[in-house]
Each structure stands twice: as structure tokens, then as C-alpha cells.
């Protein structure tokens, strides 16, 4: 292995000292924060941003950049300091007002600060994002430049992540690391900050495992860089650089560089102690730190011109050199691959293909199929017009119907099951790892060009909930496919039957929970989700067959607005009249509502049925539309096989909520629907009672 | 190592065949289910239940029993067959009506079927429960028989678990396994069914890691038993038995026995295929299986008398022998250790100590401290009167205030940080592993004698949500301590600020979400939770200081009923009057409500404040009490710094919901409270508006 030369000047070393002091000062000014790791890893971050990463501070969204994910998000200042010093558009005020509404946020927030590739803080999440980012790069290589050799495409780049003990301990990282090993993501490099300290003190009270052996077991290349070796602590950037060169040279395995550090070094009394992790160091300690760094012990926010000029100029030079090459190749590619270039153009715009609606499958009213089956057929139909769409399942592809028929698997060549499978494949196999799946979907969505989806049973949305929340917080277009969406699951019993999940997911701000009532609504839901890349959606699908009630046009118009009149109230002559009763339902319970309507209409009670595939989209409609669908007058009734929570808002004090406020049981789904009152007759009876009481 | 002799008779082998056929028949009768693993592991289960486990089919709750956890819960029939064949009280009809409301449930359900130690199905959960069960055994040894040598106590027993590829891949199992290694749980034995098959087919599409090396990295003993070795498949029970003997002899490490099997063996065409995993085999295949097993190919539910008599008699003999020894020692212990015996008696009754209330700390109205701080003081105060209570945090002990002052850590001797620390310690260090913490707490609660608690930041309740759900489903007394419960978290920003969590947790049937308003309510909440071991509770605590509003007596009476009148509406003369406005609030927002009341009362608007620490307990009160606290008349207003979902039910159509339906930001908590309208003045303004509109 030939090692690229690393030449560090005095200004490099001074810049590292400046970054350490800047981090300490920002925490001091805020009165709280996490100085320890931002200080001890400052040399690492400097090396990455000044010598290793391909990036352009003047263009944070440059397609050709490497990605950097600070999975140990509490050390946000580590990254902020480098973004500042390399010239991203960040004012120094951001540090002075750190952790306040006018400064840099406590944890890195995507969309808030230029150069931040993902929101981190919940531990392990960033690591899973990094795995997704590395997968996205592979897929895009295949999508745009399939004939380029591995590593030689415009779309190839490295994904670097810094993880701490928290990430190492969280299950999501274990899941993601194992999958990254299987997928042979040679474009992924994780630096593990092994400092033996977590919040409760020495990590060995809960963590005596050998993480190197663990990652080797996952199929990773593991390199050890020990700054504590040989007695005196030495921030040996040459050794780290050599490890990074070795990491980049390895194309078939992701690399974990285990870096042994002393937290907060060279803070005089708090180095190596958990006291430096999550609290300000204090005036004296900061002064001591600065003295040890050769800086003025008393001055805050020291940003010497020579340092800042040097770091910004050096970063700009490196960016210019990298871009000169990349931009030229990009222009040549655009000319040589007009079709792919047009696709890239469209994907960057976020617009779906014009042929999207025309590609949707349609069903006849009266057909009967599970919405999960309709979803599978829709995915297959969308495959040619939506090349940006790709995904898979957490080992439930056959049950979740997540595979686009005939699309190859995303697998390393030596695991391929068919000739088409390969590293650029479209069908993902996440294994039984829902949480990592969520984090990986988010990573893919963060990459920005493609739309990823991932499926599991709805009850296991709980396993991936932190990732769903982060997708909502970041406004990512991740798509979660949740099938087996109610007691309709049946025989597998209460561990597999969602009861509280619709409410609990709707509680997440910014998440669209989409529960289509039939096959046509399912197709329409996919199209609508494709049109809304600005936030995540969960598509909630039945295990059991459902009768098609909506014709394709009505379904598309209705789904677009979130809720709509599926069947109007009529009088004996069949003329539309003001409803005495409006039943609002979602998913499989729309059929129940239709049955109840039938019974009530027969008795002379004009009854409307509103199908409400997405309450969030409905809430976005104007007041007039909402009132026209769900009138104040008359009795309002909701029917949904889940907890009542949330429905009172829609049906009012006098309304009826047909809900399920306890866990299910192991028995056939039809029997449970009957037993728990989800039949047309039972709902009609509830309506009659309410009308009699009114 | 001397190997205990294993003598298998022809009837043993026949019983294994009978169990395989019984599993296949039950799935066939149900029309769905998971036959593959129940068939291939039948010899394993037979070995365990007939030759290895210490258990008593006539007394499933015998304290001296070993515990068996089927973490691969979909293979429920594997366990059901053994429970039936060893004589637990299970009718054969349970198999004939498998997966229906009159038969055995699709997945093992705790409390439903005798001999089932935990509800499993959600993968990895059972494995974490097993770790908790192993920890509980250690703790109870220390609690009741501290002087007994390791392994020689009445309370020592082994915990066996069977895990599949799903458990191996789920992050919760990774977390729990790493902790089990650190804690040197030599009383834990996991059998990993390595059959290379999961639902999407060959596991290598997502799982090429080396699980043996991974578990060795965690500090486990790993033993390999390969039934496929040497060409012909051979269900080598002697080899497995020897591995189990080796496992039991290892006291400092948990053991993972990696057993290489062929799923569904010897099913003629579906052995080794994912087709046998989750669907019935079909008539012909079942006939072929029976033929291969030497049974009548056409007869269903074959339970030959000689087999059933043999297996039941053998199990009864083993139980009698084990009990003769254990019961005699137990009687001697009861006499020799009357104090511990009385404690055991009390713990088995589920009753708290009589001195519970007297031990609670009290605060003066007007004091100010964070409820997390009050919680820590309460735990310390309860330590002497509630020896059953123990717990810790997911690496946030100092922030969650979960440590009872001076109580030793639960750590192996060589990791002890003080002389008191040791394997029987009381303070748990879960590491940064919230999901495993939840599963371990449930395992400890399942053991049945102690009450475990575990803390993390409330926003990370999402990480452990599947475990919270299982605690609710099983009705376990697990206690979740969730601090940093709102935007009051402040500077750490939106990743750390719960917004939707109160609603999402309240959506879980059977979970008590307890959010005390001040220190006295916090102490009362702990006492109330101790009195309610029949279900889980989450205690939700503030980061920030809160003024004490309730005197200790009022707090105890009020918390007991879930919600109560904290401050009555009065007229200008100070006389209590019918409220024009009733403000209901929880936690830190009770103080906001009190401020609003102050402003409104001053203006002549008689205003009541209801503190509602637990809406679930309030819902259990009779209608009269509820109406007396929250009257229909007058304006009802809710104040809670979380999503509005759920509050309409309590405030009615005309009520006002002061809520927060978007994510927070990184800034001081007080500033966020102000900005988002959670001040007395802002609430009063909302009330004035509503009164003006009415």
C-alpha cells in the first residue's frame, strides 16, 4: 500500500487548537453543551475537512461531494468548527449564541446549517443514515452511469461517519453494520471514537465487549489507531491518514477505524473524564485548556486571521481542484448520456414523471383484493416511470408485497441470485432489522435523488419509530410500507395486531399516515406520495381482501384531498340529500361503513360515507372543503379498528366513535371484526342508538 | 469435563416424532401458522423439557424452576407440544383449534397458557426477556440468600432461550447480548437455531456475518453443534446435551449454542426451504412427513398412549426428584431466614410494605425542584422499605436521577467500582441500549418477585416502545422513568424534545402514563405505582425546576384518582364557587395553569385548576367523581406542551386545547415555553378569547 503524503503545516496544528478552543468557548457561552468530544476529535475533523473529504464549502449540495455524518451528534461543535473554518456560510455569531434561537443548534440539524447532511443526536441514527447514503451512491452509479467501473463514476463518493460509544451500543447501529458488511459497502468509512467514557463514567460498567472483533464478524475491515500507545498521548494524524488511505483502497468491505482517544484532551483536569462530556468545562478549565494549546488563556472566540485565511484558502483550493476534474467529466457525461442527464435533471427538481398517473393500475368497482396486493401491483406498474423509486422489506417482501416484479436485487456480485442482481440493483433486502431499515431509508432520502421505501408489518412500526420521527423532523421523502394493519391480521394474535399504531403515528408532526380503503385508493396513494417528496409518508395496508368501492378517478381526486365523499346520502328515490348521518372511516373499515350505510339507507336514514385515507392531507384542505365533506349538521360517526384517540376532534361531542381500545386476540380476522363490533350491522346499531338518544 | 449420561429410549424418539406430527397437524387444521421450526427443533425441545430443564408441570409457577423462553415465538407449537407432552394443563383441543379463540394462540401468550413464561413473537424481545430473567435470578439470590455460593442458592436457576435468525438480526438482541456478556450471566443459555432460512429465503441475502465471532466478541462462550456435519443430517441429541452440560458448567459467561439445523426436517419436499416457515405444509407433505417419521401418514393428531404416558411420567418423576430436594431446602431456609422468608411472602402477594407512605419524602408548597430530582429523592427514601424495587438507566443515571443513593451496582466482581458492588447489586447500568433495557425490565418483572425500573430521556421512549407495548400486553409491573419530558429540555433541541410522546404513549392500552406536576405528586406517583403491579407505568418527569403546588396529603389522594382539583375557583371574597373556567393540565404545565388562574381570578373569572397526573387512572374513576372534577358546565381548557391529540375528549367541542403541534427548537426551555404560548398570560388570553366568543 502506497500512502498518500500528508503534509501538515504549523497552521494546520494551530487551526486544530483554534477549533478546540472555539468549541470550549461556545459551550461556555451557552452555559451547557458537550465540549469533550468536540475538543478531543478536533484533529480528526480537521484532517477530514482539510485533507480527506471531497467537498466544496461554496456549494454544499455539490453532487460530487463526499458525505460526512456526525453520528455522535452531541459533539455538533466538532462539525460546526470545521464548517466555519473551511468557509461554509456560517457566521461566528452562531458560536457566540450556540444553543439559542439565534445561534447554531445543540445538535446538527439538516436544513438548518449548511454542510449538515443529516440531523443527529438520537444515537446510532446517523450511523444508519451513513449506511443508506453509501447505498444510495451505489444505486445512483447504476442508475446514471451503469457502465462506469466501480469507483470511477461521477456518482461514486465516500461516506464518512464519526461514531462514539453510544452509537456502538445502540441496536440500530448493530443492525446497520451487519447489513453494510453483507452489502460490501467499500465506500463507507466509520471512525469510532473509543475513549472509554460515557455519561455514567467508565464504559466498562456496561460495555466490555470487543467492538473490533464484532465489526470483523460483520465483515468489516477494522483498523486500529491508538493515540494513547507508547505512553504519551499523541494526536497522530499521519497514522489516521494512513488508515483512511487503507480504508479507501478497500472496495469490498466497509472500514471501521477504531481510534483510541482521550476525551477533552488537553483539558488540564477534565481530560479523560465523563465530566467533560455533557457540561461546560468552567472558566478555569477553559483557560487551562487554552494555555495547553498555546492560545491566550483569557480571550474567548480567538479566530486568528492567519488561521482562518489558511483553512479557508486551503479548502477552496482543494474544492477547486476536485471540481475542475469532476465538472469537466460531468459536462461530458451530460452530453454523452442525454437520457440519464434528463433523468437527473428531473430528480433534482423533485417532480415525478409526467407519465405517473397513466401508469397506475386500475380496478373495477366490486373487485376484491388486499390493499397490500394492490400496492405490490402499483409498485410494479410504477417501476418504468419512476426509476427513482426503490426499496424492499425487512424480510417480509412476500407479505408486504414490496417487490417490483422482475426488478433485480441490490446485492454484491457474489451474493447475486440472478444475473441481473448486483450492486446497482433496485430491490432491497434489509433483513429482520426494522430500525436500521428506517435509518437507511432516511439516509437514501438524504442523498436527495431517489425515493426509498421499506416494508414491515404495521405493528413493527414501533421498532422503527425513532427513524420515522427523524424523517418527519427533517422533512424527508422516506416511504414506510406498513401492511397487516389491524386485527384483520387475525391468527398471529395480539403481538401482531396494531391497535394503537394509527393514533400513535398520526401523533408525529409532519408524517402523512395514508390508509387507503381499496385497490384504487392504494394506487392513488402511491401517486400522491410521489408528488409529495417534502415529507415522509406511511402507507398502511390490509392483509385481508377488501372490496373496491372507489372508481379510479374518484379515488385519485379523493386521495389527493385526504378525505372525500365516497357515497352520498340519498332519499328513497335515490336523489342526493343532506345526510342525517355521516360515517367517516379509513382503510378496511370503509367497507364496514358502506355496509352500515346500506342498512341505514334501507331504513330511511340518509347516510353519507366519507373515506379518509389521510387525515393529515385532509387537515391541509381549506375550511370550506372540510365542512363540505364532514358537515356540522347531522350525526357524525367514525369507524376505525384502532384506539379512539383523535377521533373526537372529527365527530364532535355528540358523535359516535366506533373504535377498539384494547388488544386483540389470536383468531381469524373476520371473527375478531365481528366480535369487536366492526360490521355494518353493529355500526348501524350504534347509529340507531345515538339517533334515538338525540 | 465429565459429561452427564444422556439415555434416550425408543419412546423418547417416538415422542419427538409425535411432536413433529402434532405441530404439522395443528398448522394444517388452522390453515396457517409456522410449522417449519416447530418440526425441526422438536428434538431440541424434547431434550430440554424431558432431560435438561428443572420444571414441574403440575406447578408452573414453582419458584425453583428453570425458565424457558421461546424467543422465536412464531414456533409456538414447539413449546406447546412439550407442555402438552410433559403434562401441563393443556387440552388436546388447543391444538385442534390452534390459532382460534378456543385454541392455543398463534404466538405464546403469557397468562394465557400454563408454562408460558413470556409473550413472544416480536423478534428479539424474548431474548432480552431472558437476559432480564437471568439478572432477576442473580438479584433474588442476593436478596434472599446472600450467603449462598453462586449456583447453590434456592433462587439460582438457569434461563434457556431458543432464538432464530430473526432474533440474531434484531438490534435489541445485540444490545442485550452485549450487556449479558458484560454482566457475566453464566446462568443464561441461548440455543441459536441456525437454519440459513428466513422469510425471504436464504439468509445470506442480508446476513453474511459470523454470529459466533460476534457473540464471542460480546464475551459469550460459543459452542457449535452441527447436525449437518458429515453428510447425512443427524439430530444428534448427545452432542447438544454435551454442549448444554458445558454451558451449565461455565459460570462467568453466558453461552450461545449455535445449532445447525435443516428447517422442517424430515418433511419430504419442504425441508430446508422457506416454504415451510410460515404456511401450512399441505396434506401430501404432512403425509410424507409422517411416513418419514414412522407414523401413520393419514391419521391426524396421533397421540399414542404409550408415548404420552411415558413423557408425562418421566417429566413427573424428574419434577418430583427436583422438588424433593428443593422443597426440603426451602423449608429449612424459611425456618433459618424468617426475615427473608417474610419478605418473599410479601413479594409473592404483590403487596407493598406497610411503611411505604410513611417513607415518602415531603416538600413544602412553594419549594422548587425538578420532578426528576424529586423522583431521585423518592427512590432513595423508598430503598429501605421497598427492597423489591431496583433499576437504573440507559447511561443517563445522573440526568434521570435513577440511582438510589448508596445502593451498590449490579456488576460482576471484577468490574465492581466499590466494595459493595457485585452480582447481587441494586443499581443497574444498561448502557446506551434503551430497547434492551425495556426487554430486560420486562424479563425481571416476569420473574415475578421484584419491581424493576429503567430510565432514559422521554424522547427516547421511542427506542423502547416495542418493549413498553409488550409490558402493557402482558400486564407486567415494569416501571419506565422518562425524564426531560417536554420542550423544557431546551438547548439540546428538537431531537431531544418530546412533542408527540405523551399522546403516543397514552395510546397504548394498559399503560399508565404518570406525569406529576411537582415534587409531592412525584413521591405520591411512586407510591401509587408500587400499589399497582398489575400493569406498566411510565413516570414522566421534568428536567426543569417546578414549584410545589400540592401539599403531600392532597397529592397522594389526588394522584391515586389520576386527576383532582388542585385549586378551586373562588369569588372576590375567596369563597369557593362554581368555576366559569376549568383548566386541566399535567406536569410542568400545571404551574402554567396556576399562573393563568391567578390572572383570571384577578379579573373576576372564577377558575379551577385540575392537576391530572394520570389520565388512565382518572378514566378508571366513577362517572360522579370525574364529573365533579371536570364539570360539563363552564369552559374547559387543557394545557399540555405536546400534541393536542386526545384532549378534545376531555374539553369538549367548545373547549380550548393549548397544545404544541410542531417540533421544537434548540433554545432555552423558558424561551420556548414563552414562544409557544405556554405561560399563564398566554393561556389566560386564550381563555378570554374563548369566553368572548361564547
Nearest to A105 among B202, B398, B493 (CB): B493
Beta bridge mates, A258: A192, A224
Q: CB of B200 within 8 Å of any CB in chain A?
A: yes
Assign 3-class secondary structure to A454-488.
EEEEHHHHHHHHHHHHHHHHHCCCCEEEEECCCHH
| Shortest Cα–Cα distance, B202 to chain A (Å) | 10
Of A532, A554, A576, the one marking the end of a domain is: A554
| Confidence at residue B3, expressed as pLDDT on a 0 to 100 scale | 56
Do B299 and B167 lie in one domain? The reply is yes
Q: CB of A543 within 8 Å of any CB in chain B?
A: no
Do A633 and A506 lie in one domain? The reply is no
Contact B542, B370 (CB under 8 A): yes
Q: What is the pLDDT of residues A60-89, one digit of tens each?
A: 999 999 999 999 999 999 999 999 999 999
Question: Residues near A544 by Cβ (< 8 Å), separated by ≥ 6?
Answer: A370, A488, A490, A588, A669, A670
C-alpha to C-alpha distance for A431 and A428, rounded to whole angstroms: 9
CB contact under 8 A, A492 and B106: yes
Give B557-618 as a DSSP string.
HHHHHS-EEEE--B-TTS-B---SEEEEE-TTHHHHHHHHHHHHHHTT--EEEEE-S-HHHH
Block means of pLDDT (10 residues each) for chain B, 694 residues, are: 75 98 98 97 98 98 98 98 98 97 96 98 98 98 95 96 97 98 98 91 92 98 96 95 98 98 97 94 98 98 98 98 97 97 97 97 98 98 98 97 98 93 96 98 98 98 98 98 98 98 98 98 98 98 98 98 98 95 98 98 97 98 98 97 98 98 97 98 98 92
Number of domains in chain A: 3
Judge residue B598's burial from the number of C-beta atoms within 10 Å of its C-beta, 0-12 exposed, 13-18 middle, 19 or more buried. Answer: middle
C-alpha to C-alpha distance for A375 and A522, rounded to whole angstroms: 6
Output the nine-digit C-alpha cell for A26: 461556545
Contact A430, B427 (CB under 8 A): no
Mutate to test the interface with A, among B118, B205, B410, B490 (most CBs of A within 10 A): B205
Phi, psi of A471, deg, nearest 5: -60, -40
Q: Is A327 inside a domain boundary? A: no
Cβ neighbours around B603 below 10 Å, total: 11
Do B494 and B374 lie in one domain? The reply is yes
Q: Is B174 inside a domain boundary? A: yes
Query: In the block, which residue shows the cell 431521585?
Result: B376
Do A536 and A571 lie in one domain? The reply is no
Contact B529, B479 (CB under 8 A): yes
Q: What is the pLDDT of residues A396-450, one digit of tens each?
A: 999 999 999 999 999 999 999 999 999 999 999 999 999 999 999 999 999 999 9
Reply yes or no on whether A434 is catalytic. Answer: yes
Q: CB of A311 within 8 Å of any CB in chain B?
A: no
What is the sign of the dihedral through the CA atoms of B456, B458, B459 and B465? Answer: positive
| Shortest Cα–Cα distance, A388 to chain B (Å) | 22
CB contact under 8 A, B462 and A463: no
Partners of A462 on chain B (C-beta within 8 Å) are: 465-466, 469
- Complex ipTM value: 0.98
Q: What angle do CA B261, B263, B268 make, to 5 degrees?
A: 115
Partners of A107 on chain B (C-beta within 8 Å) are: 492-493, 495-496, 666
Helix A371-382 crosses helix A519-531 at what angle (to 10 degrees)? 50
Parent domain of A454: 356-554
Do A399 and A291 lie in one domain? The reply is no
Q: For A497-616, where are the E strands, in sequence order?
A: 512-514, 537-541, 545-547, 564-567, 581-585, 607-611
| Shortest Cα–Cα distance, B527 to chain A (Å) | 26
Q: CB of A411 within 8 Å of any CB in chain B?
A: yes
Q: How far is residue A605 CA from its own chain's centroid?
A: 47
Q: What angle do CA B306, B309, B315 make, to 5 degrees?
A: 135
Q: Is B173 inside a domain boundary? A: yes
CB contact under 8 A, B182 and A206: yes
Task: Identify which of B89, B193, B475 has the alpha carbon closest to the alpha carbon of residue B80.
Answer: B89
Contact B389, B539 (CB under 8 A): no
Contact B79, B70 (CB under 8 A): yes
Give A592-630 as a DSSP string.
HHHHHHHHHHHTT--EEEEE-S-HHHHHTS-HHHHHHHS
Nearest to B667 among A74, A101, A122 (CB): A101
Find the closest chain B residue to A427 by CA distance. B205
Question: Residues near A252 by Cβ (< 8 Å), separated by ≥ 6?
Answer: A184, A186, A412
CB contact under 8 A, B509 and A663: yes
Partners of A649 on chain B (C-beta within 8 Å) are: 644-645, 648
CB contact under 8 A, B179 and A206: yes
Do A99 and A177 lie in one domain? The reply is yes
Mutate to test the interface with A, among B74, B127, B171 (most CBs of A within 10 A): B171
**In degrees to the nearest 10, what's the CA dihedral of A564, A566, A571, A575?**
90
CB contact under 8 A, A214 and B218: yes
Contact A629, A564 (CB under 8 A): yes
Mutate to test the interface with B, among A127, A180, A200 (most CBs of B within 10 A): A200
Task: Identify which of A14, A542, A109, A513 has the alpha carbon closest to the alpha carbon of residue A302.
Answer: A14
Output the nine-digit C-alpha cell for A111: 436544513
Q: How many residues comprise chain B?
A: 694
Q: Is B334 inside a domain boundary? A: no
Instruction: Name the pTM for this structure.
Output: 0.98
Q: How many residues comprise chain A?
A: 694
C-alpha to C-alpha distance for B680 and B598, rounded to whole angstroms: 8
The CATH number of the domain where A164 resides is what?
Answer: 3.40.50.970
Judge residue A545's burial from the number of C-beta atoms within 10 Å of its C-beta, 0-12 exposed, 13-18 middle, 19 or more buried. Answer: middle
Which is catalytic among the residues A28, A434, A521, A640? A434
Chain A residues 414-443 with CB within 8 Å of chain B: 415, 417, 429-433, 435-436
Output the nine-digit C-alpha cell for A18: 483554534
Nearest to A218 among B209, B433, B494 (CB): B209
Residue ranges for chain A with pLDDT beneath 70 = 1-4
What is the sign of the dihedral through the CA atoms of B60, B64, B66 and B67? Answer: positive
Q: CB of A393 within 8 Å of any CB in chain B?
A: yes
Find the closest chain A residue to B209 by CA distance. A218
Radius of gyration in angstroms for the set of CA atoms belonging to chain B, rounded to a whole number: 28
Of B526, B554, B582, the one marking the end of a domain is: B554
Q: CB of B651 within 8 Å of any CB in chain A?
A: no
Do A305 and A425 lie in one domain? The reply is no
| Confidence at residue A3, expressed as pLDDT on a 0 to 100 scale | 56
CB contact under 8 A, A206 and B667: no
CB contact under 8 A, B398 and A73: no
C-alpha to C-alpha distance for A666 and A490, rounded to whole angstroms: 6
CB contact under 8 A, A100 and B667: yes
Q: Cα–Cα distances in Å, from B226 out to B235, B524, B596?
A: 9, 56, 71
Q: How far is residue A500 CA from its own chain's centroid?
A: 22
Do B546 and B576 lie in one domain? The reply is no
Do A105 and A198 lie in one domain? The reply is yes
| Confidence at residue A199, expressed as pLDDT on a 0 to 100 scale | 84
Output the nine-digit C-alpha cell for A601: 339507507
Q: CB of A15 within 8 Å of any CB in chain B?
A: no
Q: Is A308 inside a domain boundary? A: yes
Judge residue B616's burial from the number of C-beta atoms within 10 Å of its C-beta, 0-12 exposed, 13-18 middle, 19 or more buried. Answer: middle
Chain A residues 665-694 with CB within 8 Å of chain B: 665-668, 671, 675
Question: Residues near B223 by Cβ (< 8 Å), separated by ≥ 6?
Answer: B243, B246, B247, B255, B256, B257, B258
Mutate to test the interface with B, among A29, A202, A495 (most CBs of B within 10 A): A495
C-alpha to C-alpha distance for A512 and A506, rounded to whole angstroms: 7
Find the closest chain A residue to B410 by CA distance. A205
Contact B501, B642 (CB under 8 A): yes
Contact A513, A618 (CB under 8 A): no
Q: Cα–Cα distances in Å, from A134 out to A75, A159, A387, A415, A453?
A: 22, 6, 18, 18, 16
Do B546 and B595 lie in one domain? The reply is no
Which is catalytic among the residues B434, B521, B528, B640? B434
Do B452 and B570 lie in one domain? The reply is no
Partners of B219 on chain A (C-beta within 8 Å) are: 208-210
Radius of gyration in angstroms for the set of CA atoms belonging to chain A, rounded to a whole number: 28
Q: Is A137 inside a domain boundary? A: yes
Chain B residues 98-157 with CB within 8 Å of chain A: 99-101, 105-107, 109, 119-123
Find the closest chain B residue to A218 by CA distance. B209
B266 cis-preceded (ω within 30 degrees of 0): yes
**In degrees to the nearest 10, what's the CA dihedral of A289, A295, A298, A301?**
-90
Give B37-69 as a DSSP string.
HHHHTHHHHHHIIIII----TT-TT-TT--EEE
Partners of A172 on chain B (C-beta within 8 Å) are: 171
Q: Is A1 inside a domain boundary? A: no
CB contact under 8 A, B174 and A179: no
C-alpha to C-alpha distance for A79 and A121, rounded to whole angstroms: 13
Give B125-166 as a DSSP string.
HHHHHHHHHHHHHHHHHHHH-TTSPTT-STT---EEEEE-HH
Of A321, A337, A367, the one marking the end of a domain is: A321
Cβ neighbours around A519 below 10 Å, total: 30
Do B200 and B75 lie in one domain? The reply is yes
Q: What is the pLDDT of residues A127-157, one digit of tens each?
A: 999 999 999 999 999 999 999 998 899 999 9
Q: Is B506 inside a domain boundary? A: yes
Q: CB of B503 within 8 Å of any CB in chain A?
A: yes
B595-600 long-range Cβ contacts below 8 angstroms, 24+ apart: B595/B679, B595/B680, B595/B681, B595/B683, B596/B639, B596/B680, B596/B681, B596/B683, B596/B684, B596/B687, B597/B567, B597/B680, B598/B680, B599/B680, B599/B681, B599/B684, B600/B684, B600/B687, B600/B688
**Side-by-side strand order, sheet with B479-483:** B427-429, B389-393, B451-457, B479-483, B537-541, B512-514
C-alpha to C-alpha distance for A456 and A454, rounded to whole angstroms: 7
Chain A residues 215-254 with CB within 8 Å of chain B: 216-219
- Beta-carbon pairs below 8 A across chains A and B: 333
The CATH number of the domain where A594 resides is what?
Answer: 3.40.50.920
Amino acid at each position: 500500500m502506497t500512502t498518500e503524503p500528508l503534509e501538515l503545516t504549523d497552521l494546520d496544528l494551530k487551526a486544530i487548537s483554534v477549533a478546540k478552543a472555539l468549541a470550549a468557548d461556545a459551550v461556555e457561552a451557552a452555559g451547557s453543551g458537550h465540549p469533550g468530544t468536540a475538543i478531543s476529535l478536533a484533529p480528526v475533523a480537521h484532517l477530514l475537512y482539510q485533507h480527506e473529504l471531497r467537498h466544496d464549502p461554496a456549494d454544499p449540495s455539490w453532487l460530487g461531494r463526499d458525505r460526512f455524518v456526525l453520528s455522535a451528534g452531541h459533539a455538533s461543535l466538532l462539525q460546526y468548527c470545521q464548517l466555519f473554518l473551511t468557509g461554509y456560510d456560517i457566521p461566528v455569531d452562531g458560536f457566540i449564541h450556540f444553543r439559542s434561537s439565534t445561534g447554531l443548534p445543540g445538535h446538527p440539524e439538516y436544513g438548518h446549517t449548511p454542510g449538515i447532511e443529516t440531523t443527529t443526536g438520537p444515537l446510532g441514527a446517523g450511523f444508519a443514515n451513513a449506511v443508506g447514503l453509501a447505498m444510495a451512491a451505489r444505486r445512483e452509479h447504476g442508475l446514471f452511469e451503469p457502465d462506469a467501473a466501480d469507483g470511477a463514476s461521477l456518482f461514486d463518493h465516500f461516506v464518512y461517519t464519526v461514531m462514539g460509544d453510544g452509537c456502538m451500543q445502540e441496536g440500530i447501529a448493530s443492525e446497520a453494520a451487519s447489513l453494510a458488511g453483507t452489502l460490501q459497502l467499500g465506500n463507507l468509512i466509520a471512525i469510532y471514537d473509543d475513549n472509554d467514557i460515557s455519561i455514567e463514567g467508565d464504559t466498562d460498567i456496561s460495555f466490555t465487549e470487543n467492538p473490533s472483533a464484532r465489526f470483523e464478524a460483520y465483515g468489516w475491515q477494522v483498523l486500529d489507531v491508538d493515540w494513547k500507545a507508547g505512553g504519551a498521548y499523541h494526536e497522530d494524524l499521519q497514522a489516521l491518514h494512513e488508515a483512511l488511505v487503507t480504508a479507501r483502497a478497500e472496495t469490498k468491505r466497509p472500514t471501521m477505524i477504531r481510534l483510541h482517544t482521550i476525551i477533552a484532551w488537553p483539558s488540564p483536569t477534565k481530560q479523560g473524564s465523563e465530566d467533560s462530556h455533557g457540561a461546560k468545562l468552567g472558566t478555569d478549565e477553559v483557560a487551562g485548556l487554552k494555555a495547553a494549546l498555546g492560545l491566550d488563556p483569557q480571550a474567548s472566540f480567538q479566530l486568528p486571521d492567519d488561521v482562518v485565511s489558511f483553512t479557508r484558502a486551503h479548502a477552496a483550493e482543494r474544492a477547486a481542484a476536485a471540481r475542475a476534474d469532476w465538472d469537466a467529466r460531468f459536462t461530458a457525461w451530460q452530453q454523452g448520456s442525454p437520457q440519464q442527464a434528463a433523468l437527473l435533471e428531473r430528480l433534482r427538481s423533485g417532480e415525478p414523471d409526467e407519465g405517473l398517473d397513466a401508469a397506475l393500475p386500475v380496478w373495477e368497482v366490486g373487485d376484491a383484493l388486499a390493499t397490500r396486493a394492490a400496492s405490490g401491483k402499483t409498485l410494479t406498474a410504477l417501476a418504468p416511470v419512476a426509476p427513482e423509486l426503490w426499496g424492499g422489506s425487512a424480510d417480509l417482501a412476500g407479505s408486504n408485497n414490496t417487490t417490483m416484479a422482475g426488478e433485480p436485487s441490490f446485492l454484491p456480485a457474489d451474493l447475486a441470485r440472478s444475473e441481473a442482481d448486483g450492486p446497482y440493483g433496485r430491490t432491497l433486502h434489509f433483513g429482520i432489522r426494522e430500525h436500521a431499515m428506517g435509518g437507511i431509508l432516511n439516509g437514501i432520502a438524504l442523498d436527495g435523488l431517489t425515493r426509498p421505501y421499506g416494508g414491515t408489518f404495521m405493528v413493527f412500526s414501533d421498532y422503527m419509530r425513532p427513524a420515522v420521527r427523524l424523517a418527519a423532523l427533517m422533512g424527508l421523502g422516506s416511504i414506510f410500507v406498513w401492511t397487516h394493519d389491524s386485527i384483520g391480521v387475525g391468527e398471529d394474535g395480539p403481538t401482531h395486531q396494531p391497535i394503537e399504531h394509527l393514533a400513535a403515528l398520526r401523533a408525529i408532526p409532519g408524517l402523512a399516515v395514508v390508509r387507503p380503503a381499496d385497490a384504487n385508493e392504494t394506487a392513488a396513494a402511491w401517486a400522491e406520495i410521489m408528488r409529495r417528496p417534502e415529507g415522509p409518508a406511511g402507507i398502511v395496508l390490509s392483509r385481508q381482501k377488501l372490496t373496491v368501492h372507489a372508481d379510479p378517478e374518484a379515488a385519485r381526486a379523493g386521495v389527493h384531498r385526504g378525505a372525500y365523499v365516497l357515497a352520498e346520502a340519498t332519499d328513497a328515490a335515490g336523489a342526493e340529500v343532506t345526510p342525517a348521518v355521516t360515517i367517516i372511516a379509513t382503510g378496511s373499515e370503509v367497507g364496514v361503513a358502506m355496509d352500515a350505510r346500506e342498512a341505514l339507507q334501507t331504513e330511511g336514514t340518509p347516510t353519507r360515507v366519507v373515506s379518509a385515507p389521510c387525515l393529515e392531507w385532509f387537515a391541509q384542505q381549506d375550511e370550506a372543503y372540510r365542512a363540505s365533506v364532514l358537515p356540522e349538521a347531522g350525526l357524525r360517526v367514525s369507524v376505525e379498528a384502532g384506539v379512539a384517540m383523535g377521533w373526537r376532534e372529527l365527530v364532535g361531542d355528540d358523535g359516535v366513535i366506533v373504535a377498539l381500545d384494547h388488544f386483540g386476540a389470536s383468531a381469524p380476522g373476520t371473527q375478531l371484526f365481528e366480535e369487536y363490533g366492526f360490521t355494518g350491522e353493529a355500526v348501524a346499531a350504534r347509529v340507531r342508538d345515538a339517533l334515538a338518544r338525540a
